[in-house]
Amino acid sequence: MPELPEVETYRRFINELAVGQTIAAVRVNDAHVLALPEAELRAGLVGRRLVATHRLGKNCFLELDNGRILVLHFGMTGDIGAYRDPADAPRFVRVAFALEDSGLNLAFIDPRKFGRIRLAESVEAYGKAKKLGPDALVITAAELQAKIGHRKTILKPLLLNQNLLAGLGNWIVDDVLFQAKIHPERLANTLTPKEFAALHRATQHVLSTAIRHEANYREFPLNFLIHSRGWDTSAAPDQSVHEYCPRHLKTRIEKSYVGGRATYVCPKCQPRPTS
DNA sequence: ACCCATGTTCTTTG
DNA sequence: TCAAAGAACATGGG
């Protein structure tokens, strides 16, 4: 779940639930997700008040009243939750932050434990340390073209590289390329200015649509490629997987691996490069 | 039992 | 130095 729209949705949730509150305690169920010693995290958080939230790419930032930052990265399966009674805690809560005023616990949930929790001196310092590019919702078309337009490598892995622009993940890139009608294996330096404009427009469209639906992909428009990924296993069989292109109803969506990642393409909308 | 997976990072190979 | 490929991480779900 945790690509840019999911993280933005978590951020808004945390903003409502936790900003203004003081952290009374930190519960660590599994220290594996900590990128710093547990004692250090606790010392940095307990008694501090949360004053704001921020986001850069897939990273969520909780600003403390001393200016330091609690950084949450959700890996592949991270999620945010809240509970009052420990008996009602959801599965896979790895770390929970007890909030003094409301008595609620803010939960960092992560079955697969690829997520990480850390402290940083500032959002800027963290972004610099991780060499993160500009946020995918903030980058301009010109910046995007300047960053990748000269590269002679396959497009999709470039768009997934957080050092170039931050926030795009595997399914979003596929949907962006589908909406922009560009094949993921095109070399970046072969894109026309028109295609860069389309790429940028599609990025904004996919991200803002996903955020508007709070990243609930089942609510995404039917012309989104995400419905072809077969995630929706709980739906009725006739609507669980959209096998065909929403624009070419007789053309089957094709699955392959690009840069080692599962990749979905409409062969008609996104013609494979010849060379 | 086996295969797949929304991310990141490191190693190996070319 | 760069880019591509592969592996590793750790685990649940189909």
The catalytically annotated residue of A3, A6, A8, A63 is: A3
Half-sphere exposure (Cβ direction) of A273: Cα atoms closer than 13 Å = 14
Q: Is the pLDDT of residue A13 over 50?
A: yes
Q: For residues A67 and A62, what is the distance between their CA atoms, to the nearest angstrom?
A: 10
Mean pLDDT value across chain A: 92
Cβ A111 to strand C below 7 Å: yes
Instruction: Tell me, yes or no, if the two domains A4-129 and A141-265 fold the same way.
Output: no
pTM: 0.94
List, for residues A237-263, the tens digit of each pLDDT value: 444 457 889 888 888 999 999 999 999
At residue A228, the pLDDT reads 82
At residue A21, the pLDDT reads 98
The answer to whether A131 and A163 have CB atoms below 8 angstroms apart is yes
Answer left, alpha or beta for residue A92, where phi above 0 means left and psi between -120 and 50 means alpha.
left
List, for residues A120-149, the tens digit of each pLDDT value: 999 999 999 999 999 999 999 999 999 999
For strand B, list residues 195-224 of chain A whose Cβ lies within 7 Å of it. none
Q: For residues A3 and A215, what is the distance between their CA atoms, to the nearest angstrom?
A: 9
At residue A241, the pLDDT reads 54
The verdict on whether A2 is a catalytic residue reads yes
Sketch the domain layout of chain A as residue ranges: 4-129, 141-265
At residue A103, the pLDDT reads 96
Supply A77's token pair. 């399966």
Which CATH architecture group holds A4-129?
A: Alpha-Beta Barrel (3.20)
Q: Is the pLDDT of residue A51 over 90?
A: yes
Class of domain A141-265 as given by CATH: mainly alpha
Q: Which nucleotide is nearest to A215 (CA to C1')?
A: B6
